[in-house]
Chains A and B, each alone.
Chain A
Amino acid sequence: QVQLVQSGAEVKKPGASVKVSCKASGYSFTGYYIYWVRQAPGQGPQWMGRIHPNSGDTNYAQKFQGRVIMTRDTSISTAYMELSGLKSDDTAVYYCARDYGELPTVCNCFDPWGQGTLVTVSS
């Protein structure tokens, strides 16, 4: 079945960086956009950006421009999200999610989602 499996929880100090991985299985990795979304405790989801699986082209939410880098390694069907300059309010569950539409169709809707990676930023 289609599955996205993310790396484990992280605890980071303010100012540090974190890199979260998202390994895809059960489908052709190069056929679908991968998105990154975070959800702070008790809050709604917040879109961070997306990466095209073939070209590696990225689109980032303005809020994260300059602090986030999304990459992918097609040889191992894995996407990565690195966030730098961490602050306490970056504490959240970070999700990867696949677009529901197969390229060249793009749905800009997300299914499935990974299990989430809790990133805690604390001194």
Chain B
Amino acid sequence: SYELSQPPSVSVSPGQTASITCSGDKLGDKYASWYQQRPGQSPVLVIYQDNKRPSGIPERFSGSNSGNTATLTISGTQAMDEADYYCQTWDSSIYVVFGGGTKLTVL
């Protein structure tokens, strides 16, 4: 079965850049999406097709995907960005897989 691995936690100071990675075999050959989930809320799509932002998502959120690693980057991190972040991918054989999630702490 296909697996996506994320670091359990990442810490960042306000105003700095946070990077969250997601690793999977040949992940760069597939599309990666990223979701933000605040406590007690439903997930929200923040990046799709590796580097596209849905309408309403701030420009400080960006994404990349190459080789075996996709990366979500949050520039100028704000306190409101503190949340759990999940990567997700899809292909015709595995369908949909989510990563285990990364807790972003803004110190």
Contacts and interface: CB of A to CB of B under 8 A. Distances in A.
B43 A45 contact: yes
Interface of B: 31, 33, 35, 42-45, 48-49, 54, 86, 88, 90, 95-101
A45 B42 CA distance: 10
Most buried by B among A35, A108, A115: A108
A44 B48 contact: no
Interface of A: 35, 37, 43-47, 59, 61, 95, 97, 100, 107-116
| Chain B CB within 10 A, most for which of A37, A47, A111 | A111
Q: What does DSSP make chain B's interface, helix, strand, loop or mixed?
A: strand
Nearest to B42: A113
Nearest to A114: B42
Contacts of A97: 43
B31, B45, B97 — most chain A CB neighbours (10 Å): B45
B22 to A, nearest CB: 11
B44 A111 contact: yes
A113 B43 contact: yes
